[in-house]
Structure 1
Amino acid sequence: MIAIVGVVVVFVMVFGGYLAAGGKLGIILTSLPFEMTMIMGAAVGAFLLSNDGATVKHTLKDIKKVFKGVKWKPEDYSDLLCLLFELIRMAKSDPLAVETHIENPAESSIFGAYPKIQGDSEAVELICDTLRSASMNYDDPHQVEEVLDKRMEAHLHAALHSSHALQNMADGLPALGIVAAVLGVIKTMAAIDQPPEVLGKMIGGALVGTFLGVFLAYGFVGPFAAKMKAVAEEDAHFYQLIREVLVANLHHHSPSICIEVGRQNVPGHQRPAFDDLEEALKGSKSA
């Protein structure tokens, strides 16, 4: 919702201010289809040229994040801590029993109690792979930590790829606007024998290209890329939480201490209160 409000504010402030200052929309509306075709057409072409098919699909999919926001909500962090608590407690009391859950999470009653988490392959694989590593009796937990750190880095890098691609597009839009404006000036110079009122409209139309390039870059495409990056980084905290809890488990802390370590590492605006989490742990969904 806030993204839609932002779009409306950009349009109202820019064009409202222009009209309030006595500007006329006629010349902009007349030139808009041609200038937009040149600028956005070239921008899209350059985007396709500089990215592979997977990145293009990923970027189109991630644009929805600008309006939907982060995937993981405060209640999801609480659910994740409850899920991890159950798995760690079972792993300590009955290692053989927990293997049935981590080897087949799709059929697990524990994972099934948290369908949103169960439906996220990255979260499920991260949990299962790390618990499986713990069952191999690693002599040095830091080995698992290093593997997890590299995995977190790779996952975040992949998640940010679409925002970087869109930001590159935003960086090129002002220059493409200048290209469109120069073409408009060339067209004007070819009609230099026309009266001043005609030349004035043609020059005004050419300048619309510069305006559109800058307006689209800093008013829309750039902010879209920034929001996509912010959402990806915020969602990455969810997977980082899995790392913190399971690493604490590798150091042989009690399940309660592991969960508290995880709770403390949840971003402040998403962090469940201590008492609320205690209640959730006592009445977990799979109980």
Structure 2
Amino acid sequence: MTGIIGIVCVFVMVFGGYLAAGGKMGIIMKALPFEMTMIGGAAVGAFLIANSMSEVKHTLKDVGKVFKGPKWKTEDYRDLLCLLFELIRLAKQNAVAVEEHIEGPETSSIFTKYPKILADNEAVGLICDTMRAASMNYDDPHQVEEVLEKRMEANAHHALHSSHALQTVADGLPALGIVAAVLGVIKTMGSIDQPPEVLGKLIGGALVGTFLGVFLAYGLVGPFAARVKTVVEEDVHFYRLIREVLVTNLHNHATNICIEVGRQNTPTHIRPSFADVEEALKDVKSAA
């Protein structure tokens, strides 16, 4: 919703201010289709040159994050803590019994309670791979933490590619606007024998190219890139919570302590309250 409001605000303030100052939309509207074809087409072409098809699809998909926001909400963090609580408690009680859950999460009675988490391959992979390694005596907390950190860094680097790709397009748009403006000036010079009122419209149309390049770069594409980056970075906290809880468990702390460490390491604005988590864990224990 905030993304849509922001876009509306940009258009209303820019063009509303222009009209309020006495500007006329006629010249802009006449030149807009041709300038947009040159600038937009060149930007799309450059984007395709710089990225593989899988990266193009990834970027187009991530544009939706501008409007949807972060994938993981406060209730998802609470559910993740409950899931980890059940798995760790079972592993402490019976190491063999937990194997069926980490080897087949899609049929696990624990994982299937949390369908949104189960649908995320990376979250499930982090949990299952780490707990599987611990069952194979690869349980040095410092080594496991280092491995998980490198894995998350690699995943975050890949996830941020969309933001980098959009920012590259945003950086190039002002220059492409100048290209379109120069072509407009060339067209104007070819009509230098025309009267001033004709030349004025031609020059105004050429300047629309410069305006459009800068407007798209700083009013739309650049903010889109920044928003995608913010959303990706916020979603990374979900996977960091998994790391904190599982590494704390390898230090042989009590299950409740592991869960609280994870909760405390969650950013404040998405952190479930202590009472909320306690109530959820009571329900888990009652169901068990």
Alpha-carbon RMSD across the aligned residues, in angstroms, is 0.9
Give the equivalent residue in structure 1 for 2:277: 277
Between the aligned partners of 1:140 and 1:23, the Cα distance in structure 2 is 69
Q: Is 1:50 matched up with 2:54?
A: no
1:159-185, Cα deviation, whole Å (9 max, x unpaired): 100110010000000000000000000
SS in 1 for 2:148: helix
Between the aligned partners of 1:62 and 1:232, the Cα distance in structure 2 is 9
Give the equivalent residue in structure 2 for 1:239: 239
CA contact under 8 A between 2:72 and 2:238: conserved in structure 1?
A: yes
Unmatched 5+ residue regions in structure 2? none
1:22-55, Cα deviation, whole Å (9 max, x unpaired): 0000000000000000000000000000011111
SS in 1 for 2:284: coil
Between the aligned partners of 2:26 and 2:50, the Cα distance in structure 1 is 36
Give the equivalent residue in structure 2 for 1:134: 134
SS in 1 for 2:267: coil
SS in 1 for 2:270: coil
Q: How far off is 1:139 after superposition?
A: 5.6
Unmatched 5+ residue regions in structure 1? none
Between the aligned partners of 1:139 and 1:17, the Cα distance in structure 2 is 63
Q: How far off is 1:140 after superposition?
A: 2.5
Between the aligned partners of 1:31 and 1:139, the Cα distance in structure 2 is 66
After superposition, residues 79-118 of structure 1 pair within 5 angstroms as: 79-118=79-118
Between the aligned partners of 2:211 and 2:138, the Cα distance in structure 1 is 61
Q: Is 1:268 matched up with 2:258?
A: no
SS in 2 for 1:272: coil
Which TM-score applies when normalising by structure 1? 0.99
Percent identical among aligned pairs is: 76
Q: How far off is 1:142 after superposition?
A: 1.2
Which TM-score applies when normalising by structure 2? 0.98
Between the aligned partners of 2:132 and 2:139, the Cα distance in structure 1 is 14
SS in 1 for 2:96: helix
The runs of at least 4 consecutive aligned structure 1 residues that moved more than 6 Å come to none
Q: Is 1:160 matched up with 2:163?
A: no
Give the equivalent residue in structure 1 for 2:13: 13
Give the equivalent residue in structure 2 for 1:225: 225
Instruction: Count the aligned residue pairs.
Output: 287
